[in-house]
Amino acid sequence: MRTTMDLPKDLLEEAKKICGAKTKTSTVILSLQKLIDAKKIERLRALRGRLDLDIDMKRLRKDRTATH
């Protein structure tokens, strides 16, 4: 998708250096993906201690191999 944005040059150049990206586009894409990943991890960490996952791993593996 083509989009026009007005980004601070110094901010984009710093992000480009830190990411090791070669283009502005790849810098923005990588930055967005890292932001999304960080937020997903943050949400998962917020659930720590709130979920009770009483899972029998042996049974789960057995069921999984039986269906494949």
Q: In terms of pTM, does the model score above 0.75?
A: no
pLDDT in tens, 12-44: 999 999 999 999 999 999 999 999 999 999 999
- Tell me: pLDDT of 45 over 70: yes
What is the average per-residue pLDDT within 50-64? Answer: 79
Q: How far is CA 15 from CA 33, 55, 68, in A?
A: 13, 42, 44
**Count of beta carbons in the 10 Å neighbourhood of residue 35:** 10
Distance CA 35, CA 14 (A): 16
What are the sequence ranges of the domains in the chain? 9-67
